[in-house]
Structure 1
């Protein structure tokens, strides 16, 4: 059994799989309205679908006045998780 690295305390990783990038981004945007520190990584999924990964800070509520570019941090992890290859 493979061990996964968990996100840091107070953070959660969310995986979104959708038929279109627009649908995945809409879900990600909804999460950004609730949680601060959303980090986004996008990958192609099987059959042309879109896979989007977010790391959200569950301990900090989203700021009402933050701009979208400020909500996206540089990626801390890259590539697909081992169970998604």
Structure 2
């Protein structure tokens, strides 16, 4: 499931994740952690500016595994709260 077209959103319950790292190994490590928490499609990697690596991954947030499920349940914002002061 690929959603790289500008202006398109992934289907409900899915998120597009972009990882930018100096090395492919670092990007893969982050993608591996995400795959342990969420079901996901194939990752796609591309060269990044200045010699780094960009890795794109679609994750299914509607079907999280236990580590993500626990975190998502406890991290839901309470009604009426906004971003932290340091967030734009």
TM-score normalised per structure 1: 0.66
Moved beyond 4 Å, runs of 4+: none
Structure-2 residue corresponding to 1:20: 23
Alignment equivalent of 1:44, drawn from 36, 43, 47: 47
User: Which of the two has greater strand per residue?
Assistant: 1
Q: How far apart are the structure 2 equivalents of 1:37 and 1:31?
A: 8
Q: How far apart are the structure 1 equivalents of 2:16 and 2:38?
A: 12
Q: Does 1:6 align with 2:6?
A: no
Task: Out of 36-45 and 23-32, give the one that drifted further.
Answer: 36-45
Alignment equivalent of 1:35, drawn from 13, 38, 57: 38
Q: CA RMSD in A?
A: 1.6
- Count of residue correspondences: 61
Q: How far apart are the structure 1 equivalents of 2:33 and 2:39?
A: 11
